[in-house]
Structure 1
């Protein structure tokens, strides 16, 4: 049996999942799980990259412990965040997280140099204050010495791959999220970089998913006691998740549901028209130069923070049960408002929003949970309406995948709010998509279509009707 290892790292945790193929079906086995999160260093919210790499190595060693040594390995993480390296390949500054407030006002600074509509036309990427371009401009403005010393720009999974292999590349799907890649020629937009005064030479060659980076550094082979090939998956976790969709047609909307909700369709070309910009849709890179035309929605982060504010007293399933008991609670918040990105207290922010908009303020835990879930469903409904207006067609169904698809109550609310059939699954969408890229690169699957057929028959999919 041959094994392939997907390392899927999210904002709150990471896991090592071994994949194998038996009788045309993909089998998964989680071998290691670890915590992740942001912590404050000085006045910045940062990722602990060194600890992440230690956990990556521990999980790899676990594979040997159980006698299942992977043939290939692929890493995916969240998007937009990066590290800068000096001439000695040492990190300059911290690995600052996208939820840090250093980008406050930077978007407006960029628009003074490059008009908003031109930025969208060039890149096709939606405007979010934490995009890489605004993080870089913040460094240029507040810590210019860091950019002056920088010789290498690597996004988080690029840097982890560099630590594994010694190879420096920027993977396409994650690079596209920077708002610095031209949406049509799919390379770094030197015009934007020049106008913003950012050195183009720090950026690496953009490589596609399925690209081999070769084998491990010699010192790691010695440490692990074995070697393996490092393959680029879609290193942006949403790019990997979209690979796992069980709806390989033109009548379906995809919804990757986790800490963030990413809702949209898969396209063969970018859509950079004013209407798409007005609705703040993005054209992120996907596998095989597909485009993920989608909208970022705050997602389950909101209920995660509610749970944290309640000192983790309730499990997520208990919060769902309490919401069901309060299904008639009417208030709805705009989960995409900046105020919900990283408030001091999510529950108080929800209450304040309801009060300011003259809605009933949630008091009980079940009312708060119902407000969150109903707000998400209505945000999805709005995104569906935007998509149908842009494409001038009606879509038949929504495929929800990722960890959030296990929330049957939310799936029911989405089906009811949108009037669409909902297909829920697969759950481990990101790891599955990561593995699919590796398996295609190794000719286990001949192409994406065959991989998706195998995924569809390998995992259970739940169906929710609109009525």
Structure 2
């Protein structure tokens, strides 16, 4: 039996610790601990409580020990773009502001007045989003220049959590690419962009790849847990970890589906041309320097907000069932920034329908159907763009992540695209995290071997195209 590993996978709404062991040519996966994560209001901003997240990680390790689980390694992945700045004494400077905070409003356009988007895209290949780290740093430099002056270290959120575990500061490659400050070709921090922004390259740490060992825990943590753990850096961008766990060996379009929908393909080289920029595709880093050529689509955040507003009136399954009864749902552009963090998601959806002369959804099923069908329409458009820019067609779509459980959307996507849709595994992000750790410890040789292992270890479901409901319009 091989060693047991801990994957800490933290998303925008929850976190979990899963342990994985490779035995009998399959991955034995067990969820040990799950906890909530949510943005909080602090100092006038929407923020993350990263110290609480670290406390939850420690609680999960204690639970492992209580259950008699003896892991050998641990690695942390989270969402992208958000960061922690440390001063000369390695203390955090200010709150960890969340990407949905309004502080970056208008900053992307302001930067573009003197540094062209064309130049930024040619250098980084990263999709333009108002919350990208480049614009967060520009906003901070404008509103709180004294904080930038005090800063001596820049760590992405998972980098910071690894630092709290080990005392070692590094920047992991896959998450670093999401900042829009990394050169897509050199795969290093782009000094020219940093110089323009007035940010010292000295702020950034050594760039490391997924699979890098940071060694053992801080001595005080070894004493607290009664054991040591080797900290192995996974692909710390959660989507990069999820894509590493795509189960199909053949080439496929993937859809990492959760709070966000990330739809794309893996490429050996970045596509940073005018058409890719016009379509607003991104070239994020993946395992083994692969490029995740994808589009960032709003995702199930919208239906999560709808459910939150309805309170306990409807479960997610009840919203799905109600949406099935809607024969001609209204459609909206889910990728508008207005849906990033509206005061009231239902009212924002209704306003968007009214502005586009669509029937205004009133009942819960009508609102849910509008979200689901609009998401599928956005997926369909992105798939056509991917095929155009790659000069080929793809026969199937692999849906991974929590959103893979929505069989209604899976079937809609198969019907609309005429492609085979394969769903699973649900815990792709944690599995990809574990696979990198297993490869680092020598239990898996290649990424191709890892993906075959996923296909053998976890149930997958196939959705063939059928005649049925498709988005109207």
Q: What is the TM-score normalised by the length of structure 1?
A: 0.99
Q: Kindly state the Cα deviation for residue 447 of structure 1 after the two structures are TM-superposed.
A: 1.2
Q: Comparing 239-248 with 206-215, which one deviates more in the overlay?
A: 239-248
Q: Does 1:115 align with 2:106?
A: no
Hey, what does 1:175 align to over in structure 2?
176
Hey, what does 1:430 align to over in structure 2?
429
Gaps of 5+ in 2: 467-473
Between the aligned partners of 1:42 and 1:171, the Cα distance in structure 2 is: 29
Gaps of 5+ in 1: none
Hey, what does 1:195 align to over in structure 2?
196
Hey, what does 2:470 align to over in structure 1?
none
Q: Kindly state the Cα deviation for residue 19 of structure 1 after the two structures are TM-superposed.
A: 0.2
Aligned counterparts, 1:227-376, within 5 A = 227-250=228-251, 252-326=252-326, 328-376=327-375
Q: How many residues align?
A: 465
Q: Kindly state the Cα deviation for residue 367 of structure 1 after the two structures are TM-superposed.
A: 0.7
Hey, what does 1:411 align to over in structure 2?
410
* 8 Å CA contact 1:254, 1:398 repeated in 2: yes
Q: Kindly state the Cα deviation for residue 43 of structure 1 after the two structures are TM-superposed.
A: 1.3
Aligned counterparts, 1:389-404, within 5 A = 389-404=388-403
Q: What is the TM-score normalised by the length of structure 2?
A: 0.97
Hey, what does 1:208 align to over in structure 2?
209
Q: Comparing 29-38 with 306-315, which one deviates more in the overlay?
A: 306-315
Between the aligned partners of 1:113 and 1:72, the Cα distance in structure 2 is: 46
Hey, what does 1:458 align to over in structure 2?
457
Between the aligned partners of 2:312 and 2:264, the Cα distance in structure 1 is: 32
Between the aligned partners of 1:286 and 1:189, the Cα distance in structure 2 is: 18
* 8 Å CA contact 1:329, 1:371 repeated in 2: no
Hey, what does 2:80 align to over in structure 1?
79
Q: Kindly state the Cα deviation for residue 248 of structure 1 after the two structures are TM-superposed.
A: 2.8
Q: Kindly state the Cα deviation for residue 255 of structure 1 after the two structures are TM-superposed.
A: 0.4
* 8 Å CA contact 2:361, 2:367 repeated in 1: yes
Q: Comparing 309-318 with 203-212, which one deviates more in the overlay?
A: 309-318
Q: Kindly state the Cα deviation for residue 330 of structure 1 after the two structures are TM-superposed.
A: 2.6
Q: Deviations over 1:236-273 (max 9, x none)?
A: 000000011122333x1000000000000001110001
Hey, what does 2:471 align to over in structure 1?
none
Hey, what does 1:42 align to over in structure 2?
43
* 8 Å CA contact 2:248, 2:452 repeated in 1: no
Hey, what does 2:29 align to over in structure 1?
28
Between the aligned partners of 1:371 and 1:330, the Cα distance in structure 2 is: 5
Between the aligned partners of 2:39 and 2:217, the Cα distance in structure 1 is: 28
Between the aligned partners of 1:110 and 1:420, the Cα distance in structure 2 is: 40
**After the TM superposition, which segments of 4 or more aligned residues of structure 1 sit over 4 Å from their partners?**
none
| Aligned-residue RMSD, C-alpha | 0.8
Between the aligned partners of 2:24 and 2:115, the Cα distance in structure 1 is: 54
Between the aligned partners of 1:459 and 1:417, the Cα distance in structure 2 is: 27
Q: Kindly state the Cα deviation for residue 111 of structure 1 after the two structures are TM-superposed.
A: 1.2
* 8 Å CA contact 1:113, 1:195 repeated in 2: no
Q: Deviations over 1:387-427 (max 9, x none)?
A: 11111211110000000000000101111121211000111
Aligned counterparts, 1:117-196, within 5 A = 117-196=118-197
* 8 Å CA contact 1:171, 1:235 repeated in 2: yes
Between the aligned partners of 1:85 and 1:113, the Cα distance in structure 2 is: 29
Hey, what does 1:223 align to over in structure 2?
224
Partner of 1:110, secondary structure, is helix
Q: Kindly state the Cα deviation for residue 321 of structure 1 after the two structures are TM-superposed.
A: 0.9
